[in-house]
Amino acid sequence: MTQNSPPLVLPPGLTRAMATLQDKDRRRLDDTVTRLHTVNGRLWDTEDRVRSALLSAAQVADCKREIDQLNAERNALAERADEVLGSLADAGRADVPLHTETLASVVDRMSVLTLRIWHSERAAGRDELAARRVPALHGQREELCAALDALVSEVVAGRRRLPVPARFKLYGREDVAPAEIKPSRHLRQVLAFGGLSECGKSTSAQFVQRTCGAQRLKIGFLLRQAAHREGLADPYALSARRQAELLLGELNRFADAHVDTKLFTIESVHDDASIAELKQLMGDTLQIVYLDASFAVRVERSGTPAQAVAAKDEIKMSRGAHQVAALADHVIDNTGSIAALRARLRRIAAPPSTTALRVATPYGLGLPAAVASATADFTDAVRAYGSGVRLVALTGSPGEGTWIAGWSDLDLMVIAEHEVSGGIQEALEQYRTALGNAASLGPTLVTPGELTARRLTPRLAFVLHQLQQGSPVLHAASDLELPTISRDELAFAAVRELPQVMLTMRRLRTAEGATALRQLYKHLVLACRLLLREHNQWESGPDRILAAASRMPGLRALAVPPLAEVANAWRDGDTELVLKPVTAAVDQLLTWYALQLAA
């Protein structure tokens, strides 16, 4: 409405009658009448604009569409007001006289008359005709107030009946096909959280925001933004389809303005009709997530009396919140553990996918014959467990072609169901026995569920990324699904992992003797690899990693012997010559790191 426009003052008889209503009904009526008056003010302003001779045809069309929408809101609000005002009527007799219009219709006319008086008084200084009309308009308002009070008195006393308030206006004919709004190409994925009170909607949205980088939005905020943009007083009075269009329009605007945001969440879904329309508009881009929990569980979580939760539920159910479950893409039973809830949310927000992995035999990895043979036997042994074993791979140096006998470990990853873990342990014991002193085995056993729930260490995330980039595996189930790990995720993981690596390197630095050489060197390479990831550099192989790290800002070249020389010295027990430069490089990196983080 135009700023400083007049409030709607209701006549005293109607005001006294409204005071007899229950608090809930009185507040609802006050809100509805206020919104009705606001819509009438906007309607007046829009009708003024459309009369301008300076408007283009497109601008006139826009104004006409706005007028149509405001009229639809006006009628919906009047019907809502009559639903409450109708309760003032005495049941009375069916043969008492019928009035020609409802109470809300009279209130609506009073709203328009109030606006007409205000606009006429503003124009009176420059328009003599408008000035002469002002007294007559005030007289009309006094008569209308008196007539409305008299009607209220007769209705309350049962001496007059009111007509059925439904207006049956045909706004939005089905035989007219407007252009349908579509999701922006920047709007990649939206999760909509629904459910009754205290079911975990906000908790879930916060978790997805924190772990997946989602932009969290409230449906009420989006609708208010759209209403302000479109000049609408009450977006909730609109049809379900129109609400969905407004929501999608705001989501599109936000996505177009934040093109790097890949995931949005919206909450809370309380209206089954509008979310069904939004799903029709967005398709699979919108995933509806309904969180379900028993009343007892929700009361316990809320920390409030059961009556308070029940009252909230009643409001939400009156809007169709409980019926969203039938529309949902995902229904989560949220009566269990936080771990179970978060695992389900991670799979929804970042679904795993099948990946074409490169399968190789141990004999093609540059391993000694005895090591390759023992590895092949282990692979055959665990493959016998069928679908229980999903993947077997040697990670790290075997996959990079840098494995060195007597120096490198055999880092083994097995993805298997928990039920077959006993058999895997037996196969590992046989594997160790077959390897003897040829290699030290470092196994990592993980379940498919842990991976798809993204319960990943930084090291495990890096291994999965390497497999997706083509590092070989020894066995993979054809239907294996793995989480997709991006370089951005690895860079963030490096930030988390690096502090522990630096602490370990300082501890190793205090160790005496040549026994620390191997661990010092490996941690030096790992620290440099992680630092390079933060600089978006993705080197592989120790020699290349150390060379690239030497070019980081402010870090002098690390004078470390080549890996082959360090490994030979370690195997031969002649570590004196290489331990000194490795130790010096470690000290140099620790000093540089401390300077980078100094306050």
Instruction: Name which of 187, 337, 173 is nearest 247 in CA terms.
Output: 187
pLDDT of residue 176: 45
CA angle 472, 567, 573 (to 5 degrees): 145
Contacts of 544 (CB under 8 A, 6+ apart): none
Amino acid at 524: L
- Whether the pTM exceeds 0.75: the reply is no
| 481 CB-contact burial (10 Å; exposed 0-12 / middle 13-18 / buried 19+) | middle
Amino acid at 230: E
HEC sequence for 229-286: HHCCCCHHHCCHHHHHHHHHHHHHHHHHHCCCCCCEEEEEECCHHHHHHHHHHHHHHE
Taking each helix axis from N to C end, the angle separating 103-123 and 23-50, rounded to the nearest 10 degrees, works out to 50
pLDDT digits (tens, 9 = 90+) for 209-223: 999 999 999 999 999
- CATH code of domain 12-157: 1.20.58
Most confident of 168-172, 241-245, 428-432: 428-432
3-state SS, residue 77: helix
User: How would you classify the pairing of strands 441-446 and 410-416?
Assistant: parallel
pLDDT (average), residues 561-588: 92
pLDDT of residue 576: 86
For the chain, give the number of residues.
599
pLDDT digits (tens, 9 = 90+) for 342-359: 999 999 999 999 988 999
pLDDT band at 175 (very low <50, low <70, confident <90, very high): very low
Report whether pLDDT(1) > 60. Answer: no
Report whether pLDDT(177) > 50. Answer: no
C-alpha distances (whole Å) from 541 to each of 271, 377, 472, 544, 558 are 56, 28, 16, 6, 15
Q: Element (H or E) spanning 147, and its range? A: helix 128-157
pLDDT of residue 59: 76
User: How would you classify the pairing of strands 475-476 and 389-395?
Assistant: antiparallel
Q: 219-258: buried (b, 16+ CB within 10 Å) or exposed (e) per residue?
A: beebbbbbbeebbbbbbebbbbbbbbbbbbbbbbbbbeee
Report whether pLDDT(2) > 60. Answer: no
CA angle 371, 376, 378 (to 5 degrees): 95
3-state SS, residue 348: helix
Amino acid at 562: P
In whole angstroms, what is the distance from residue 378 CA to residue 359 CA? 15
pLDDT of residue 510: 87
Report whether pLDDT(406) > 70. Answer: yes
Spelled out in words, what is the top-level CATH class assigned to the domain 353-484? alpha beta
CA angle 315, 317, 318 (to 5 degrees): 65
The overall average pLDDT reported for the chain is: 90
- Which of 259-263, 377-381, 400-404, 588-592 bottoms out in mean pLDDT, i.e. has the lowest? 400-404
Report whether pLDDT(464) > 80. Answer: yes
C-alpha distances (whole Å) from 555 to each of 55, 108, 171, 191, 596 are 66, 76, 71, 45, 10
pLDDT digits (tens, 9 = 90+) for 49-69: 888 888 888 778 778 878 888
pLDDT band at 384 (very low <50, low <70, confident <90, very high): very high
CB-CB contact of 298 with 196 (8 Å) = yes
CA angle 435, 439, 445 (to 5 degrees): 80
pLDDT digits (tens, 9 = 90+) for 95-134: 788 888 899 999 999 999 999 999 999 888 888 888 899 8
Q: 331-349: buried (b, 16+ CB within 10 Å) or exposed (e) per residue?
A: bbebeeeeeebbbbbbbbb
C-alpha distances (whole Å) from 13 to each of 28, 48, 56, 100 are 19, 33, 47, 20
Percent of the chain with pLDDT over 70: 95
| CATH superfamily assigned to domain 190-349 | P-loop containing nucleotide triphosphate hydrolases (3.40.50.300)
Instruction: Name which of 503, 551, 548, 550 is nearest 523 in CA terms.
Output: 503
pLDDT (average), residues 300-327: 92
Contacts of 113 (CB under 8 A, 6+ apart): 137, 140, 141, 144
Report whether pLDDT(225) > 80. Answer: yes
Q: How far apart are the first and last CA of the chain?
A: 54
In whole angstroms, what is the distance from residue 308 CA to residue 302 CA? 9
pLDDT of residue 111: 94
Task: Name beta bridge partners: 358.
Answer: 472
In whole angstroms, what is the distance from residue 58 CA to residue 333 CA? 50
In whole angstroms, what is the distance from residue 441 CA to residue 391 CA? 17
pLDDT of residue 171: 54
Instruction: For tokens 């000035």, name the residue.
Output: 131
In whole angstroms, what is the distance from residue 449 CA to residue 534 CA? 29
Q: List, in sequence order, every beta strand (DSSP E) within 455-593.
A: 472-473, 475-476, 481-482
Report whether pLDDT(333) > 60. Answer: yes
C-alpha distances (whole Å) from 100 to each of 68, 161, 163 are 25, 9, 7
Residue spans of alpha helices (H) in 384-457: 397-400, 421-435, 448-452
Residue spans of alpha helices (H) in 158-178: none
Count CB atoms within 10 A of the CB of residue 192: 27
Report whether pLDDT(483) > 70. Answer: yes
pLDDT (average), residues 443-450: 97
